[in-house]
Structure 1
Protein backbone atom coordinates (compact mmCIF):
# COMPACT_ATOMS: atom_id res chain seq x y z
CA UNK A 1 0.00 0.00 0.00
CA UNK A 2 1.19 3.49 -0.85
CA UNK A 3 2.34 5.91 1.81
CA UNK A 4 0.54 9.23 1.93
CA UNK A 5 -2.84 10.75 2.67
CA UNK A 6 -5.59 8.84 0.78
CA UNK A 7 -7.51 10.99 -1.69
CA UNK A 8 -10.68 9.07 -0.91
CA UNK A 9 -10.70 10.69 2.52
CA UNK A 10 -10.95 14.20 1.04
CA UNK A 11 -14.60 15.11 0.51
CA UNK A 12 -13.86 17.39 -2.47
CA UNK A 13 -13.11 14.31 -4.61
CA UNK A 14 -16.13 12.48 -5.99
CA UNK A 15 -16.09 8.80 -6.93
CA UNK A 16 -15.72 9.46 -10.67
CA UNK A 17 -12.69 11.71 -10.10
CA UNK A 18 -11.10 9.23 -7.71
CA UNK A 19 -11.60 6.37 -10.17
CA UNK A 20 -10.21 8.38 -13.09
CA UNK A 21 -7.11 9.39 -11.13
CA UNK A 22 -6.55 5.83 -9.94
CA UNK A 23 -7.21 4.08 -13.24
CA UNK A 24 -5.53 6.51 -15.63
CA UNK A 25 -2.65 7.87 -13.54
CA UNK A 26 -2.29 5.52 -10.54
CA UNK A 27 -2.76 8.62 -8.37
CA UNK A 28 -4.35 7.67 -5.06
CA UNK A 29 -2.71 9.97 -2.53
CA UNK A 30 -3.08 13.66 -1.83
CA UNK A 31 0.64 14.16 -2.28
CA UNK A 32 0.61 12.55 -5.73
CA UNK A 33 -2.36 14.62 -6.80
CA UNK A 34 -0.86 17.92 -5.64
CA UNK A 35 2.42 17.25 -7.42
CA UNK A 36 0.74 16.10 -10.64
CA UNK A 37 -1.78 18.94 -10.68
CA UNK A 38 1.04 21.46 -10.22
CA UNK A 39 3.23 19.91 -12.90
CA UNK A 40 0.45 19.29 -15.45
CA UNK A 41 -2.55 21.54 -14.66
CA UNK A 42 -3.94 21.68 -18.21
CA UNK A 43 -3.63 17.95 -18.73
CA UNK A 44 -5.26 17.30 -15.35
CA UNK A 45 -8.13 19.58 -16.30
CA UNK A 46 -8.67 17.70 -19.57
CA UNK A 47 -8.36 14.28 -17.96
CA UNK A 48 -10.92 15.08 -15.29
CA UNK A 49 -13.12 17.02 -17.75
CA UNK A 50 -13.30 19.99 -15.42
CA UNK A 51 -12.47 23.66 -15.70
CA UNK A 52 -8.89 24.58 -14.69
CA UNK A 53 -10.42 26.41 -11.71
CA UNK A 54 -11.77 23.04 -10.60
CA UNK A 55 -8.25 21.62 -10.54
CA UNK A 56 -7.18 24.64 -8.50
CA UNK A 57 -10.05 24.06 -6.07
CA UNK A 58 -9.11 20.39 -5.68
CA UNK A 59 -5.48 21.38 -5.13
CA UNK A 60 -6.54 23.83 -2.42
CA UNK A 61 -8.60 21.15 -0.71
CA UNK A 62 -5.60 18.82 -0.76
CA UNK A 63 -3.25 21.55 0.50
CA UNK A 64 -5.61 22.29 3.38
CA UNK A 65 -5.67 18.64 4.43
CA UNK A 66 -1.89 18.21 4.11
CA UNK A 67 -1.07 21.42 5.93
CA UNK A 68 1.18 24.30 4.96
CA UNK A 69 4.57 22.65 5.50
CA UNK A 70 3.82 19.46 3.55
CA UNK A 71 2.10 21.38 0.75
CA UNK A 72 4.97 23.83 0.41
CA UNK A 73 7.48 20.97 0.21
CA UNK A 74 5.53 19.60 -2.78
CA UNK A 75 4.67 22.89 -4.48
CA UNK A 76 8.03 24.61 -3.93
CA UNK A 77 10.69 21.94 -3.40
CA UNK A 78 14.20 23.07 -2.53
CA UNK A 79 16.64 23.35 -5.42
CA UNK A 80 19.02 20.44 -5.86
CA UNK A 81 22.62 21.46 -6.50
CA UNK A 82 23.87 17.95 -7.12
CA UNK A 83 23.34 16.93 -10.78
CA UNK A 84 23.88 13.19 -10.19
CA UNK A 85 20.81 12.36 -8.11
CA UNK A 86 21.62 8.66 -7.97
CA UNK A 87 24.08 9.41 -5.20
CA UNK A 88 27.09 8.66 -7.36
CA UNK A 89 29.83 11.03 -8.37
CA UNK A 90 30.38 12.13 -11.96
CA UNK A 91 32.24 9.55 -14.05
CA UNK A 92 35.99 10.11 -14.13
CA UNK A 93 37.20 12.08 -17.13
CA UNK A 94 33.84 13.63 -18.01
CA UNK A 95 34.99 17.11 -17.17
CA UNK A 96 32.01 17.54 -14.90
CA UNK A 97 32.84 19.19 -11.62
CA UNK A 98 30.69 20.05 -8.71
Structure 2
Protein backbone atom coordinates (compact mmCIF):
# COMPACT_ATOMS: atom_id res chain seq x y z
CA UNK A 1 0.00 0.00 0.00
CA UNK A 2 1.32 3.41 -0.94
CA UNK A 3 0.63 5.79 1.93
CA UNK A 4 0.53 8.70 -0.51
CA UNK A 5 -2.48 7.09 -2.20
CA UNK A 6 -4.14 6.61 1.21
CA UNK A 7 -3.58 10.26 2.23
CA UNK A 8 -4.89 11.40 -1.14
CA UNK A 9 -8.00 9.22 -0.71
CA UNK A 10 -8.67 10.74 2.71
CA UNK A 11 -8.47 14.24 1.24
CA UNK A 12 -12.01 13.92 -0.08
CA UNK A 13 -14.61 14.89 2.57
CA UNK A 14 -16.99 12.08 1.58
CA UNK A 15 -14.28 9.43 1.79
CA UNK A 16 -13.13 10.85 5.13
CA UNK A 17 -16.73 10.61 6.38
CA UNK A 18 -16.92 6.99 5.21
CA UNK A 19 -13.69 6.13 7.03
CA UNK A 20 -14.98 7.89 10.15
CA UNK A 21 -18.19 5.83 10.01
CA UNK A 22 -16.28 2.60 9.46
CA UNK A 23 -14.07 3.41 12.44
CA UNK A 24 -17.19 2.97 14.59
CA UNK A 25 -18.15 -0.40 13.08
CA UNK A 26 -18.37 -2.28 9.77
CA UNK A 27 -21.20 -1.22 7.47
CA UNK A 28 -22.81 -2.15 4.17
CA UNK A 29 -23.04 0.31 1.27
CA UNK A 30 -26.75 0.94 1.85
CA UNK A 31 -26.23 1.77 5.49
CA UNK A 32 -23.43 4.20 4.65
CA UNK A 33 -25.60 5.84 1.98
CA UNK A 34 -28.40 6.38 4.50
CA UNK A 35 -25.98 8.07 6.91
CA UNK A 36 -24.26 10.33 4.37
CA UNK A 37 -25.56 13.07 2.08
CA UNK A 38 -24.44 11.18 -1.06
CA UNK A 39 -26.07 8.54 -3.22
CA UNK A 40 -25.51 4.81 -2.95
CA UNK A 41 -23.59 4.71 -6.29
CA UNK A 42 -21.36 7.55 -5.02
CA UNK A 43 -20.69 5.62 -1.80
CA UNK A 44 -19.72 2.57 -3.87
CA UNK A 45 -17.31 4.65 -5.96
CA UNK A 46 -15.72 6.15 -2.87
CA UNK A 47 -15.38 2.71 -1.28
CA UNK A 48 -13.56 1.48 -4.40
CA UNK A 49 -11.05 4.32 -4.06
CA UNK A 50 -10.59 3.57 -0.35
CA UNK A 51 -10.18 -0.14 -1.07
CA UNK A 52 -7.62 0.54 -3.82
CA UNK A 53 -5.74 2.76 -1.34
CA UNK A 54 -5.65 -0.12 1.16
CA UNK A 55 -7.80 1.62 3.77
CA UNK A 56 -10.87 -0.64 3.68
CA UNK A 57 -11.63 -4.28 3.05
CA UNK A 58 -14.91 -5.96 2.27
CA UNK A 59 -16.52 -9.35 2.51
CA UNK A 60 -19.74 -10.82 1.26
CA UNK A 61 -22.53 -11.37 3.76
CA UNK A 62 -25.41 -12.88 1.86
CA UNK A 63 -26.36 -10.54 -0.97
CA UNK A 64 -24.49 -7.51 0.35
CA UNK A 65 -20.90 -6.51 0.92
CA UNK A 66 -19.85 -5.30 4.34
CA UNK A 67 -16.92 -2.88 4.53
CA UNK A 68 -14.54 -2.35 7.42
CA UNK A 69 -11.30 -0.51 7.99
CA UNK A 70 -8.17 -2.36 6.96
CA UNK A 71 -5.98 -2.47 10.10
CA UNK A 72 -2.79 -2.69 8.01
CA UNK A 73 -3.70 0.40 5.99
CA UNK A 74 -4.59 2.43 9.07
CA UNK A 75 -1.39 1.26 10.80
CA UNK A 76 0.69 2.44 7.84
CA UNK A 77 -0.83 5.91 8.12
CA UNK A 78 -0.21 5.97 11.85
CA UNK A 79 3.41 4.89 11.37
CA UNK A 80 3.91 7.72 8.93
CA UNK A 81 2.35 10.23 11.36
CA UNK A 82 4.57 8.90 14.15
CA UNK A 83 7.60 9.44 11.90
CA UNK A 84 6.53 13.02 11.13
CA UNK A 85 5.95 13.71 14.83
CA UNK A 86 9.32 12.25 15.84
CA UNK A 87 11.08 14.41 13.24
CA UNK A 88 9.27 17.51 14.45
CA UNK A 89 10.24 16.80 18.06
CA UNK A 90 13.85 16.15 17.06
CA UNK A 91 13.93 19.46 15.20
CA UNK A 92 12.46 21.28 18.19
CA UNK A 93 15.01 19.68 20.50
CA UNK A 94 17.88 20.73 18.24
CA UNK A 95 16.67 24.34 18.18
CA UNK A 96 16.15 24.38 21.96
CA UNK A 97 19.66 23.02 22.55
CA UNK A 98 21.21 25.58 20.17
CA UNK A 99 19.50 28.44 22.00
CA UNK A 100 20.36 27.12 25.48
CA UNK A 101 23.79 25.47 25.30
Pair in the same fold by TM > 0.5: no
Question: TM-score normalised to the size of structure 1?
Answer: 0.38
Rg larger in structure: 2
Structure number having the greater strand percentage? 2
Q: Which has the higher contact order (CA 8 A, sep 6+)?
A: 2
